[in-house]
Amino acid sequence: MLAYPIPTIIYKFLLLNGSVAIPDFGVFELKHTPAGNDFTLKTIQPPQYTIRFAKHINGNPINLISYISSIAKVTEDHAIQLLNDFSVHLRKKIATDKKAEWIGLGLITESSDGVVEFQPKLQSSDYFTGIHYQHVLRQHNNHQVKVGEEEKTKVEMEAFFEDQKKGYQLVSWKMTAIYLLMLSIIILFFRFTISNYTIMEPRWNPIKASIPAASYNIP
């Protein structure tokens, strides 16, 4: 009698190696999503683990056979026989009951169209939970900041934004000066072309004071 059931041995092999191929049945793969930072909720999300199944992809079971032989304390020929028997058992179970539960791994079902689906049982939330954190701002601490693919210090970023601010102010001042200059040119253009005013008019036609004649006599 084996120390561990074949399904348990194969399941442990999957957890250790990330994938396992069952002959003439399919491949189970352990997918890992690393932990992430939810900046809005101020939470470090835990890593996620899920198991995916692909039907009829024949992988290389050599390492699995050696693992079964080592754990079950049997020869490799006997390990091959045990693995093939387990594959036949799965196929028969699904063909008869349209489902097969692999304890610790999940539920394998077959639809009326013959499509084999897998519902994993492994839930990483049972082992990991999110961690809430508080943003800490240190005004005088020169820490590293990730900018694209580069790392900048706080001082470098403050200098960068200060240069951007100065550049914006310079551009704004130039645009204001250009606007006022164009407005002055337009005003002078209409003054010279529409009215009778000339530049030399104040010099050649000076204003002369006139004294009106008396309209009455003082006796």
Per-residue pLDDT of the chain (219 residues; tens, 9 = 90+): 556 788 889 988 988 888 888 888 888 888 888 888 887 888 888 877 788 888 766 666 778 889 999 988 889 999 999 999 998 998 898 888 888 888 878 888 888 887 888 888 765 555 567 788 777 766 666 666 667 677 777 677 777 777 777 766 666 777 888 888 888 888 777 666 665 555 555 544 555 666 666 665 655
- Any alpha helices (H) in 35-132, and if so which ranges? 62-72, 76-97
Give the DSSP letter of residue 213.
Answer: P
What number of residues does the chain have? 219
Q: Which residues pair with 54 in a beta bridge?
A: 27
Segment holding 153, helix H or strand E: strand 150-153
6: nearest Cα among 62, 63, 64, 56: 64
Q: Which sign, positive or negative, has the C-alpha torsion 64, 66, 71, 75?
A: positive
Residue 66's nearest CA partner among 57, 77, 55, 58 is 77
Q: What does pTM read for this prediction?
A: 0.53
- The region, left, alpha or beta by phi > 0 then psi within -120 to 50, assigned to residue 148 is left
